[in-house]
Structure 1
Amino acid sequence: MVDPSDYAADGGGGQGKGPGLNGPLTPPVKSVWLDAFNDPVAGISAYTPCIHTCNLFGDGENRLVIADEDRKLKIWKGTTKASEHPLLDTPVAITSFISDNAHPRLPALAVAAGSHIYIYRNLRPYYKFVLPPENVNTEEQDIWQKLMEGEVVVGDALAQLTRLQDAGVVLQTRSLQLMNIGDPDAKMGFVEHWQGQPLVATTVITCMDVIKQSLDEPDAVSCLVVGTESGRVLILNAAGTAIVKNIWIGITPAMIAIQGELDVGYRITVAGRDGKLYHIRNGELQQTIIQLEAQPVGLVRLVKHVAVGCMNDVIHAYQPNGHKSWSIYLPTHILAMQRMEVTGQRMTKALVVSLANGEVRVYNDKLLVSIHSVPHTHTHTREVRVYNDKLLVSIHSVPNPITALWFGRYGREDNTLISLTKSGMLDIKMLPRTANLEAGSVGGGPPPEQEIPLAVPKKTRLYVEQTQREREQASDMHRTFQRDLAKLRLATARAYVKVLTDGQGAAAFSTSSNTSLSLSLSVTGLGPRFRLTLALRNEGGRQMLEVPVALRADPGLYTLGRTQFTIPLLVPGLQYSFEVPVTMVDPNAAPGAITVLLLAAGGLPSSAPLLQATIKMPFSEPEDI
């Protein structure tokens, strides 16, 4: 058996640090359970949907009910097996529900097998609910009708059934059996066997659970929820005798998880055999469909998430809107998953997972809080021995993995974990009342260094004197702050005016009340050849015609491609760009400035310009570089 301490508590099996791997060894996660009972020779073969505990006789003591694969209903009370009851078919799921408000409120036991739900009261057969037949394809029904009446021969009927199957029609079991018979005489005998019996589409139950009707209480009235092979989710009435909701999904449900109440509001998450999650809200199939990475092997409803375990050894948690919240990567395959709803002082909803290496892990959200393994005894230890000729060279034990889990009230203990192993062993553990599933979490939470308090110094004499000075001189400090703020605003205004007057960068102002122009200048190039770009915009409400533009520069420093030109039209709201080539005469000289003037249309050369902007030119790189 694998020792749980060999694995680091990383919340996903593989993120812990070992010696020599950049950190110390992560402390192992211990078990929070107390051993109550262990029967290695119980001889039980069942899975998680076929285990349940309920108060069958109203004496306040919950009994363990197991629907075994050998078609027997086994009842356990305490540490002994109380009784066995035969079943008519191989069970698929088992649960209990309260059908009415009569006192005492004794639960009815429901066992799903085949296309029937067998309901027991006081462990006596009370009612049998039969799934309604599905609709049969009209053409397939006509083919069987003509075949029985002798209008068509068996060969022609088989050809027509094959054509229907190729067209995508799902044929019934009777048609498939006829198509698989090879002997012609056997085919005729098969048709004669079904002579006079109509073609009926039957379905079977794949999963089952319960939903509270109006109150979320342990003894509240509840209803059965059934998933069928035909791709439907059926909700029965409280008595379990009729269908009140028939929801068609189209894909066979493998597992279902329910949250809420039928009369208030509810959600049903369905894990289909196509590897997708479907959501039902208040009887309506939602458009949100989640594609899983692998086929699902477990589905559990938590507080705010739905946890689904997949065949690729990963547990994903999804929100109702389909967003993934977190993932847990496990070291081996997932065999069973069960919700752990702890009652008492600490209301916690955790997740119990059994792995193929014999471990049972408990996760509070994604935090690993407990690991334990089923103990070995001489009665069910499985060893593998390796011999070289007659020499024994190796002995190791094979894990006895847990295949079924159930958490709930057993006897008079509220928090009990019941496990069934592959070898048929029954193991019962109890959760101590002092167990804390939050403080003991390791691996996914904050590091332990975070819990160490900081060395914050106490209030010193200097701090006390400073606070006293602030109280006494509050008005003077506020007056000084306002004065410094006014100085800052004045310095900012002066710097802005200096930029406008000195031409440091883009500058624009208008000298006419009827004209509003904006001009931005930019220079590109390394030198000695530059390109001066003028970005001009008419901000006014009227268009301007024939606007002269003049450029001024020191002729000893720069040679302009053009010193003046005329802009034919300036439409309001549009930006115009004009480029002027500039060549520096002496690349080694200090840079100068270029001034751009926008003159009034038809004005005299001595008249004031409409707009003036100056830009300082950058240094020039040598021409041979």
Structure 2
Amino acid sequence: MRDLFVYFHISFETNHSLSPSFVGFPPCPTHNQIGPSWGIFTLAIIPRDDEISALYYIFFIKVKLEKLATIKEGKNDKWLDAYHDPVASIYTFTQCLTLSDIQADGDWKLIVADLGTGTYDMKLKVYKNTTLMSEHTIIDLPTGVVTFYMDTHEPRTPAIAVASGPYIYVYKNLRPYFKFTLPPLNIHPLEEDLWNQAKDDQVNVYSMREMLENLRQEGCSLTVRSLRLLQLESGHTVITCLDTMKKSVADEDAISCLVLGTESKSIYILDPEAFTVLATMDLPSVPVFISVNGMFDVDYRIVVSCRNGCVYTLKRGSKDVGKHMIELNSQPVGMQRINKNIYVGCMDETLHCFTSKGKKLWTVRLPASITTIEIIDYKPRSFSAVLVALSNQEVHIYKEKFLVDIIKMDDTVTGLKFGRFGREDGTLVMTTKRGGLYVKILKRTAKFEEKALSAGPPVAQNQKLNVPKKTKLFVDQTQRERENAVAMHRTFQRDLAHLRLKVMREYVKALDNSMNPISSDPMEPLKLSAHVQGIGPTFKFTVKLQNTSLSQASSNLLITFDYDNKLYDFRKKLIQVPMLVPGLTYDFETFVDCLNDKGIAENVKVYVLKQGKSVPLITGVVSMPVSESIVVV
């Protein structure tokens, strides 16, 4: 319970008329005590003119509030707005957030590995409630932070492990304790020989650089020294993901091993006491997200999603990493595991759920791209769900495949962590793209009902179709198709190839003869249409021509007709076309006399020509109607 001090700054003036003026939210000496989320404001009454002779009184009003969430009524009936600071200047991701009781006093702290600017000002921050408790500088960019128990000493205080570059920095009691360095990579024999020759001055710099460049182009893995010589910053052996694994006991405060993935496509399991490598596993690609289940001394499973768009499952003693491989449609942006189900968010705005053996259970299409995902494991209510942060400033909560809640934010969420914070079990900590820090508490009366917000499939989808019984003809045809499957497939492919060949020949013929109402010449983009009006024997023939270009006009065009002279007579056999302005449709009219009264009709071809060219630009074919008999009055 905190106290909110509201200050009213009032000025009295006897000789002048007063007008109230709202000054704002100035800082207060007790601001740090109350917390940055509690508003401190001043209300002043100031005279309208410049002559201020006032007697100032300051009244202190002490207002007790039970919870901060009662100040502002929340829009979500399931969460309490416990704390929010949009200018906290915390730039991090979900992998760099964790909650732990690092002092063994029952008061859980928020541990943040702040990315800073990406080049400098990287720090490890520890928050007690909403107050910055400790701060440590990190030399390189952090990629993950976890807490683990190193020993069985009392009190049971966990250590903090921060993955940064090729190192694991371990903090005990908020003090630097140990630094673990990744084991060196195996050096290529030719690369080692080149450096030995350089040591003995047997090769110059230019020849050595050329040889190293050839090795790199052949796909050989080079050391950091060689890459620096080639001025390549990428390719350092650094840690990409971090997690913990219980060693021999599954208790919450049992000793845990560190499990880390590296840029060299490897997974290392470290001993928590001696910080030696207990096991090493190789992957086909660089790991980016990791989830661990089980105990090292008994049996364990490590689920790893890699940059090649695949998810691999590693078991104790297993050598074949491709046995339980999951191929995704796009690159993963987040991965979590609940019991035996694996939840993967991808860059194509989809959330997938797989079994531990790689079988897809369902896929949900999301309204925006995913920024990060996290799990809710609320043991007092036995509630488990997946938190999905989206780029449209929303956080969706999915219970299995059903959308049960939506949290709307003022900024895009980049980091999520659900767990115990302080002495509250159901706490959700969120960091945003602009550096904000938000804390929400799950109400004890909150109910998440499946299908509460998701409409789900239509009712007709769950109804069984009335499929008729198999007839003897159907069975005979099925048997014939099974026996002659190869011959039928070859016949179908041959006929399909003949059809494609015929279509292409007709298409080429139409292009050569310009038998197309739309011009295929990019320099003269024209569109032609024609129609005939009348019942005969005289018809009105109208040709519509349009320039479909955006900015280029067409000129020097002619319209002519191809017809049977014994059947028709065009009064205008050649029409001069003026300059065509882009976007406008021009009408050209002429009259046609039918010379035959026997009810015969033929097609008439319309040509659009360009002066100086023998091939028409466009050709149109018009079906002439049958002429009525000549009526003499």
TM-score (norm 2): 0.57
Q: CA deviation at 1:445?
A: 6.1
Match of 1:356 in 2: 391
Report the CA distance shift for 1:240/1:49 in structure 2 as closer, same or farther (over 3 A): farther
Residues 315-338 of structure 1 show CA distances to partners (whole Å, capped at 9, x for unaligned) of 111111111011111011100111
**Aligned twin of 2:313:** 279
Contact 1:316 1:327 in 2 (8 A): yes
- Does the aligned pair in 2 maintain the 1:343–1:415 contact within 8 Å? no
What is the identity, as a one-letter code, of the residue corresponding to 1:36? Answer: A
In terms of Rg, which structure is larger?
1
Question: How far 1:111 moved relative to its partner?
Answer: 0.8
- The CA distance in 2 between the partners of 1:326 and 1:117, in whole Å, is 37
Deviations 1:203-231 (A, max 9, x none): 21110001122333321221110101111
Contact 1:297/1:335 (<8 A) preserved: yes
- Per the alignment, residue 366 of structure 1 pairs with 401
2:382 aligned partner, one-letter code: M
- 2:595 match: none
Give, as a single letter, the amino acid of the residue that structure 2 aligns with 1:231. K
Question: CA separation of 1:180/1:246 partners in 2, compared to 1, >3 Å: closer, same or farther?
Answer: closer
Paired residues for 1:314-463 under 5 Å = 314-344=350-380, 346-374=381-409, 376=410, 400-438=411-449, 441-443=452-454
State how far apart, in whole Å, the 2-side matches of 1:336 and 1:31 are.
24
SS in 1 for 2:325: strand
Separation of aligned partners in 1, 2:342 and 2:274: 27
What is the deviation of 1:31? 5.4
Alpha carbons of structure 1 residues 359 and 139: separation in structure 2 relative to 1, 3 Å: same
Quote the residue 2:112 is aligned against.
66
Conserved in 2, the CA contact under 8 Å of 1:64 and 1:410? Answer: yes
What is the identity, as a one-letter code, of the residue corresponding to 1:357? N
Q: Secondary structure at the match of 1:288?
A: coil
| Alpha-carbon distance, 1:144 to partner | 1.7
Kept in 2: contact 1:211–1:258 (CA 8 A) = yes
Q: Counterparts of 1:372 and 1:441 in 2: how far apart (Å)?
A: 14
- How many residue pairs get aligned? The number is 377
Q: Is the 8 A contact 2:79 2:443 kept in 1?
A: yes
How far residue 179 of structure 1 moved from its aligned partner, in angstroms, is 3.3
Q: Is the 8 A contact 1:115 1:203 kept in 2?
A: yes
Does structure 1 retain, via aligned residues, the 8 Å contact 2:78–2:445? Answer: no
**Structure 1 unaligned spans of 5+:** 1-28, 182-200, 377-399, 450-625
Aligned residue runs from structure 1 range 227-246, under 5 A: 227-239=261-273, 241-246=275-280
Task: Structure 2 unaligned segments of length 5 or more: list them.
Answer: 1-74, 116-120, 461-633
Q: Provide the C-alpha distance between the structure 1 equivalents of 2:421 and 2:98, rounded to a whole number of angstroms.
A: 10
Q: Give distance in 2, aligned partners of 1:112 and 1:240.
A: 17
The aligned counterpart of 2:87 is 41
Structure 1's 300 and 245: CA in aligned 2 closer, same or farther, altered over 3 A? same
Equivalent residue in structure 1 for 2:326, among 290, 295, 298: 290
Secondary structure class of the residue paired with 1:354:
strand
Residue of structure 2 aligned with 1:161, choices 182, 188, 212 = 212
Q: In 1, Cα distance between the equivalents of 2:163 and 2:131?
A: 25
SS at match of 2:209: helix
Equivalent pair of 1:71/1:89 in contact (CA under 8 Å): yes
Would you say the 8 A contact 2:372–2:389 is kept in 1? yes
Q: 1:128 aligns with which of 170, 176, 179?
A: 179
Change (3 A) 1:373 1:441: same
User: Which of 166, 172, 177 does residue 223 from structure 2 map onto?
Assistant: 172
- AA in 2 matched with 1:218: E
Looking at structure 1, the residues matched to 205 and 420 of structure 2 have their Cα atoms a distance apart, in angstroms, of: 58
* Highest RCO, 1 vs 2 (Cα 8 Å, sep ≥ 6): 1
Deviations 1:555-608 (A, max 9, x none): xxxxxxxxxxxxxxxxxxxxxxxxxxxxxxxxxxxxxxxxxxxxxxxxxxxxxx
Instruction: Decide whether the 8 Å contact of 2:238 with 2:263 is kept in 1.
Output: yes
**Alpha carbons 1:307, 1:316 under 8 Å: kept:** yes
- Deviation (angstroms), 1:202: 6.4
Q: For residue 262 of structure 1, report the CA deviation from its aligned partner.
A: 2.0
Q: What is the Cα deviation at residue 447 of structure 1?
A: 8.7
User: Is 1:223–2:257 an aligned residue pair?
Assistant: yes
TM-superposed CA distance for 1:90, in Å, is 1.9
Aligned residue type for 1:153: N
SS in 1 for 2:196: helix
- 1:507-518 pair list within 5 angstroms: none
Aligned-partner Cα distance in 2 for 1:361–1:262: 34
Partner SS state of residue 156, structure 2: coil
Q: Distance in 1 between matches of 2:421 and 2:255?
A: 21
Alpha-carbon distance in structure 2 between the residues aligned to 1:36 and 1:100: 35
User: In structure 2, do the counterparts of structure 1 residues 143 and 263 end up closer, same or farther at CA, with 3 Å as the change threshold?
Assistant: same
Establish whether residue 212 from structure 1 lines up as the match of residue 246 from structure 2.
Answer: yes
Provide, for residues 386-443 of structure 1, a one-character-per-residue CA deviation record: whole Å limited to 9, x for no partner: xxxxxxxxxxxxxx10010001110001111000011111100011122223457432
> Which position in structure 2 is the counterpart of 1:10?
none
Partners of 2:399 and 2:450 within 8 A in 1: no
CA contact (8 A) 1:366 1:444 kept: no
Is 1:111 the equivalent of 2:197?
no
The 3 A distance-change label for structure 1 pair 64 and 180 is closer
Q: CA deviation at 1:236?
A: 1.1
1:248 aligns with 2:294: no
Tell me the secondary structure at the aligned position of residue 66 of structure 1.
Answer: strand
2:101 to 50, 55, 65: 55
Contact kept, 8 Å, 2:402 with 2:451, in 1: the verdict is: no
Contact 1:208 1:224 in 2 (8 A): yes
Q: CA separation in 2, counterparts of 1:167 and 1:446?
A: 52
1:92-138 superposed Cα distances (whole Å, 9 cap, x missing partner): 11010011222221111111111111111110111111111111101
Q: Check conservation: 1:223, 1:240, Cα contact below 8 A.
A: no
8 Å CA contact retained: 2:354, 2:361: yes
Q: State the partner residue of 2:134.
A: 83
CA deviation string 1:8-48 (max 9, x = no partner)? xxxxxxxxxxxxxxxxxxxxx96521111111221111111
Q: What per-residue deviation string (whole Å, max 9, x for no partner) do you get for residues 470-506 of structure 1? A: xxxxxxxxxxxxxxxxxxxxxxxxxxxxxxxxxxxxx
Could you tell me the percent identity over the aligned residues?
41
Tell me which residue corresponds to 2:476. none
* One-letter amino acid of the counterpart of residue 373, structure 1: K
Change (3 A) 1:161 1:439: closer
